[in-house]
């Protein structure tokens, strides 16, 4: 019997890049650059973990367009460079890359890079790395409901929504947010229903495999009741 606190789907809100850079007298963009390297480390950790099947990172929210234009442009460029550099890493660690969110607002070049990376890694089976890009939980649920209506559904069940989401893999087991902020910020609202939460004070560029390991050990010792009693 599968234990209820087996960790299959881990989600991370990567927060604190700007503060990390500011503390060092660096530009905010440097914090994002360092943050991208941490995504790689955490992904390789997850690919070596015996039970994790999916890791989802919140890389760009539907609200992040409000940032200064130059920072948004930098993040777009960084994403393109990251995916280009990452391809051999995905292949080496047998990781499948998938993006969720509304990609239509991105440049054609970036959209192509995302689709190509998804295509080239689609047969990898060790781990799914999901990047949430121009993603919003409310938008995802609303889009799903509208699609079901367009298909002619008049009564919509929870199962219909779960299956219609862009992230039908599984519910989230553990959600970690770094930098001391304790918010969901419109991330995976539906899929987080029964997740365990962990808020770390570490700024994302300083987050590492050792801390993740400690958090996972803490998670494993928690009792998950899913609304019932134990
Ligand atoms: C929050 O830091 C971080 C983000 C805007 C999203 C995460 C982005 C990255 C890790 C870098 C790029 C990602 C990829 C996939 C290449 P913040 O700027 O809000 O930090 P602050 O709250 O300290 O200002």
Question: 123 C-alpha vs ligand 1 centroid, how far in Å?
Answer: 29
Which of 57-71, 78-92, 216-230 is least confident? Answer: 216-230
| Partners of residue 132 on adjacent β-strands | 58, 100
Q: CA torsion, points 56, 125, 94, 167, in degrees to nearest 10?
A: -20
Question: 1 C-alpha vs ligand 1 centroid, how far in Å?
Answer: 39
Regarding the beta carbon of 32 and ligand 1, being less than 6 Å apart is answered yes
Q: Mutation test of ligand 1: which of 32, 177, 206 has the most ligand atoms closer than 8 Å to its C-beta?
A: 32
The mean pLDDT value for 104-131 works out to: 97
The 10s digit of each residue's pLDDT in 187-227 is 999 999 999 999 999 999 999 999 999 999 999 998 767 77
Regarding the beta carbon of 45 and ligand 1, being less than 6 Å apart is answered no
Q: Mutation test of ligand 1: which of 14, 66, 178 has the most ligand atoms closer than 8 Å to its C-beta?
A: 14
The 10s digit of each residue's pLDDT in 146-179 is 999 999 999 999 999 999 998 756 799 999 999 9
Is residue 3 within 8 Å of residue 221, measured between CB atoms?
no
- Among 159, 126, 122, smallest CA distance to 144 is for 159
Per annotation, catalytic residue among 15, 17, 124, 173: 15
Question: Going by CA atoms, what residue is nearest to atom 11 of ligand 1?
Answer: 32
Does 15 qualify as catalytic in the annotation?
yes
Q: pTM for the full model?
A: 0.94
With a CB cutoff of 8 Å and minimum separation 6, the contacts of 7 are 49, 51, 52, 173, 174, 216, 219, 220
Question: 59 C-alpha vs ligand 1 centroid, how far in Å?
Answer: 7
Rounded Cα gap, residues 92 and 98, in angstroms: 16
Q: Mutation test of ligand 1: which of 17, 71, 114, 183 has the most ligand atoms closer than 8 Å to its C-beta?
A: 17
Burial 165-196 (b: 16+ CB within 10 A, else e): bbbebebbbbbbbbbeeeeeebbbebbbeebb
- 41 φ, ψ to 5°? -60, -45
Is residue 163 within 8 Å of residue 132, measured between CB atoms?
no
Residue 1 confidence class, pLDDT cut points 50, 70, 90: very low
Q: CA torsion, points 138, 202, 176, 215, in degrees to nearest 10?
A: 180
Does 64 qualify as catalytic in the annotation?
yes
Rounded Cα gap, residues 35 and 13, in angstroms: 11
Rounded Cα gap, residues 131 and 127, in angstroms: 13
Is residue 57 within 8 Å of residue 99, measured between CB atoms?
no
Q: What pLDDT is attached to residue 3?
A: 47
Give all strands (DSSP E) within the chain, no chain letters: 9-13, 54-61, 95-100, 127-135, 174-177, 196-199
Is residue 28 within 8 Å of residue 109, measured between CB atoms?
no
| Partners of residue 10 on adjacent β-strands | 55, 174
CB atoms within 10 A of CB 51: 15
Is residue 133 within 8 Å of residue 114, measured between CB atoms?
yes
């Amino acid at each position: 019997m599968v234990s209820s606190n087996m960790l299959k789907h881990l989600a991370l809100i990567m927060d604190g890049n700007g503060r990390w850079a500011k503390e060092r007298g660096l530009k905010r963009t440097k914090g994002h650059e360092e943050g991208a390297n941490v995504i790689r480390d955490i992904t390789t950790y997850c690919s070596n973990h015996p039970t994790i099947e999916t890791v989802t990172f919140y890389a760009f929210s539907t609200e992040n367009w409000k940032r200064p234009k130059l920072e948004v442009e930098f993040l777009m460029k960084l994403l393109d460079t990251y995916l280009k550099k990452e391809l051999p890493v995905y292949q080496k660690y047998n990781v499948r890359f998938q993006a969720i969110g509304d990609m239509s607002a991105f440049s054609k070049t970036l959209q192509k890079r995302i689709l190509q990376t998804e295509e080239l890694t689609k047969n990898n089976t060790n781990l799914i790395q999901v990047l949430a890009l121009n993603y919003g939980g409310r938008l995802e649920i609303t889009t799903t409901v509208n699609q079901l209506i367009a298909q002619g559904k008049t009564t919509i069940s929870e199962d219909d929504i779960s299956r219609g989401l862009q992230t039908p893999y599984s519910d989230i087991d553990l959600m970690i947010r770094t930098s001391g902020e304790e918010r969901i910020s419109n991330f995976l609202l539906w899929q987080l229903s029964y997740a365990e939460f962990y808020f770390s004070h570490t700024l994302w560029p300083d987050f590492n495999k050792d801390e993740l390991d400690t958090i996972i050990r803490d998670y494993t010792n928690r009792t998950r009741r899913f609304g019932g009693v134990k």
